[in-house]
Amino acid sequence: MVKNITGYPCPSCGTTRAIQLLLKNNWMASLQMNPFGILVATMMIVFPLWILFDISFKKDSFYNYYHKAENIIKTKWIAILLITLVIINWIWNIKKAL
């Protein structure tokens, strides 16, 4: 949608295609398509299993981890680092003419 309106790809453009490349065991092409794909694919596998584990064993480790991660991300220098990584990925997408 962003690309249709602005003519520029969004930072996450190509993530779905990167995951598809991962499923075809083409890691390098996936990484080149969009590095977020590997991160998203990992989260799509790990998080549901983790939540299922917590439900099965009546634990709240995922919930606790989420809140700790949220507080860490709110740290100014980490937030700046993450935003910088997203901007770099966005520039990468624009340069590739994704």
pLDDT tens by residue, 37-93 = 999 999 999 999 999 999 999 999 999 999 999 999 999 999 999 999 999 999 999
Query: Can you tell me the distance from the alpha carbon of 29 to that of 19, in angstroms, rounded to the nearest whole number?
Result: 10
Whether the model clears a pTM of 0.95, i.e. scores above it, the answer is: no
Query: Can you tell me the distance from the alpha carbon of 19 to that of 69, in angstroms, rounded to the nearest whole number?
Result: 24
Q: Which of 11, 14, 46 is nearest to 31 (CA)?
A: 14
Q: Is 37 exposed, middle or buried (0-12, 13-18, 19+ CB in 10 A)?
A: buried
